[in-house]
Amino acid sequence: MQLFISGIIEFLTISLTRCQAATKINIKIEIMEEKRLKMQEDLTPYIEIDWDGICAHYDLDTGDLSPSQLLIIESAQEQINEVLNEYVKQNQP
């Protein structure tokens, strides 16, 4: 019985160590991603959404974005910003 319990403890210790290593790797990847994003120029001012045009086209008096819609738009803008930065780099002499 004691051998069984030691085996379980060893398994849990190995599993915990792997989880800790995976967590450290994930944190390192997130930090590297943040650094990469900080190194980019903010080209989001070139991304324009014509909210007035959308409202006029669909005869909307007003329009509100939900928090989830706002997060999706912000994420999309970050991705477009990355593409714009790549575009600038690849086309510079």
Residues 38 and 82: beta-carbon distance below 8 Å: no
Predicted TM-score (pTM) of this structure? 0.54
Interatomic CA distance for residues 70 and 51, integer angstroms: 13
Per DSSP, the three-state class of 50 is coil
Asked if 40 and 82 count as a contact pair (C-beta separation under 8 A), the reply is: yes
Which residue ranges make up each domain of the chain? 1-39, 42-93
Residue 20 amino acid letter: Q
Question: Model confidence over 28-50: pLDDT tens digits?
Answer: 666 656 655 567 888 988 888 89
Alpha helices (H) along 1-93: 2-39, 51-57, 67-91
Residue 22 carries which side chain, given as an amino acid letter? A
State yes or no: pLDDT of 91 exceeds 70.
Answer: yes
> Percentage of the chain surpassing pLDDT 90?
34
